[in-house]
Amino acid sequence: MKKLISSFIRYIQTEKGYSAHTIRNYESDLRQFSKFVSTKRGIKKGDPEIDLVDYMLIRSYLGDLFDKCRRTTIARKLSAIKSFFRYLELRGLAPLNPAAEITSPKQERRIPSYLPIDDMFALLEQPDREKELGLRDLAILELLYSSGLRVNELVTLDIERLDLNSRLVRVSGKGGKERILPVGRKAIDSLREYIEHTEKKRKKAGYSTRNGPFFLNYRGGRLSARSVNRLVKRYSKECGIIMEISPHSIRHTFATHLLDGGADLRSIQELLGHVSLSTTQKYTHVSIDKLMEVYDKSHPRS
């Protein structure tokens, strides 16, 4: 199984163009499943053969996960197994896909965490504009809120993909799919100021103001997603936000505020880069407070 898993990982990396995050998760999931197969089939040493896996073994594996993982995690692990065996079947390396008829667990409807407008504006006030890192952090927060980027889209952003004059940014999303997004004027001002203050650092690192990573760490290299996550949490604590937030919370905030402002779901779907409208529809639940506010003001018997 180990060789076949390695072959599958190379396939989704080079031919399918999956994101680094998905590849890392799939590889971890399949290695975990391989260990389960060894344990269940009594293989103490060596590598289990692929023909030891059948429908009932996969069901047993999923059942074992139910007390340990959330349903979303179980669904992802099943997706990895299904994709793996589909690949083997197409390559003639397995006679059939034992996971083909197994359905994913029903998902809980989770309302995304988001910030009220006042809290979001307070968060944007936290970075110290007198310092280079403060200018960088402000530009990050402004761009996340202005355009609803995923954190991976933000940290992989190169400088040439942002047109400050046209107020547009081109990002590479899940599966390498590109989309062009508008950028707000406040965000443009912060991005332009950050670029101007990092000109010397970029030259020293071998970049210019026209190429290379947009957001830099203190050494001049590309900023990591983990660093962005840390700075969001730090600033949220500094301004007294009680709830636990992440860069993805700002993406949810972006979508929720657009919906509250009158944007239609189809437009928000395009901006977020969602393949399915059903993914975007969760924001209708988030905005129930806005709906109630309109109802209370408008209905004669409210």
Report the run of H or E that residue 158 belongs to, with start and end: none
pTM of the model: 0.68
The catalytic position among 77, 136, 202, 251 is 251
Locate 299 and state its tokens. Answer: 């209905």
Contacts of 205 (CB under 8 A, 6+ apart): 212, 216, 220, 221
CB atoms within 10 A of CB 78: 21
* 9/98 Cα distance (integer angstroms): 19
Between 125 and 209, the higher pLDDT residue: 125
CB atoms within 10 A of CB 24: 12
pLDDT score at 282 = 76
* Residues 127-183 pLDDT 10s: 999 999 999 999 999 999 999 999 999 999 999 999 999 999 999 887 778 899 999
**Is 283 known to be catalytic?**
yes
What fold does the segment set 2-90 form as a domain? DNA polymerase; domain 1 (1.10.150)
Hey, where are the domains in the chain?
Answer: 2-90, 117-247
The catalytic position among 86, 174, 192, 290 is 174
Contact 181, 271 (CB under 8 A): yes
**Is 59 known to be catalytic?**
no
Binned at pLDDT 50, 70 and 90, residue 21 comes out as confident
| Percentage with pLDDT > 70 across the chain | 93
**Is 77 known to be catalytic?**
no
Does pLDDT of 285 surpass 80? no
Superfamily of domain 117-247: Intergrase catalytic core (1.10.443.10)
The yes-or-no answer to whether 2-90 and 117-247 have a common fold is no
**Is 174 known to be catalytic?**
yes
Contact 272, 265 (CB under 8 A): no
Average pLDDT, the chain: 89
**Is 40 known to be catalytic?**
no
pLDDT score at 249 = 94
Between 147 and 279, the higher pLDDT residue: 147
206 phi-psi bin (left φ>0, alpha ψ -120 to 50, beta other): left
Q: Identify which of 176, 142, 135 has the alpha carbon closest to the alpha carbon of residue 162.
A: 142
